[in-house]
Amino acid sequence: MAESIPESELVQLFRKALEASKFSYSPYSHFPVGAAILTDDGSIVTGANIENRSFGLTNCAERTAAFAAAAQGKIRFRAIAIAAPKADYPVGPCGACRQVLTEFAPADTPVVFGSNEKNIVHTTLGELYPYDSLHELAGGGQSK
């Protein structure tokens, strides 16, 4: 079981995601997204969506943050926050990002997302990505 994280810490993490959305490179969609990941060493790694003129090459904020963390050797995530400040409802991670996040975090990892601090959805990775499979092939990032 993941050690529980106080709500105030998750709100703090959401604020970091909101800050990170300012670095979004989204000249095509004009839809900034930021993500912040708390890793098991207590540090926070952020990311934003980075678009490309070849639209399919766009990288979501969640994967930018996940890959940045992994590239620093931080492959165990304790909590994930996502902020899409221009959305009029809380935008959860896309399917591809849900799969990527499960490489580095177990099902009980808290995930929070929203467009602003007053309307944050609190859930877990397992709720967002049920019936996850191929755990036996995962390289260790899911373990505590």
Select 50 or 138, whichever has its Cβ closest to ligand THU.
50
Catalytic residues: 62
Which residues, numbered 45-64, are part of the site for ligand THU (CB under 6 A)? Answer: 49, 51, 58, 60-62
Between 41 and 117, CB nearer to ligand THU: 117
Query: Please, what is the minimum distance in Å from the beta carbon of residue 122 to ligand THU?
Result: 16
78: buried, middle or exposed (CB in 10 Å: 19+, 13-18, 0-12)?
buried
Task: State which of residues 18, 20, 33, 38 lies at the interface with ligand THU (CB under 6 A).
Answer: 33
Identify whether the C-beta of residue 53 lies closer than 8 Å to the C-beta of residue 63: no
Q: Using a CB cutoff of 8 Å and minimum separation of 24, what contacts does 9-13 make?
A: 9/38, 9/79, 10/79, 10/81, 10/110, 10/112, 10/120, 10/122, 11/112, 11/117, 11/120, 13/38, 13/44, 13/79, 13/80, 13/81, 13/112
121 binds ligand THU, rule: CB under 6 A:
no
Report the site for ligand THU in 80-109 (rule: CB under 6 A). Answer: 82, 91, 93-94
Residue ranges in contact with ligand THU by CB under 6 A = 26, 29, 31, 33, 49, 51, 58, 60-62, 82, 91, 93-94
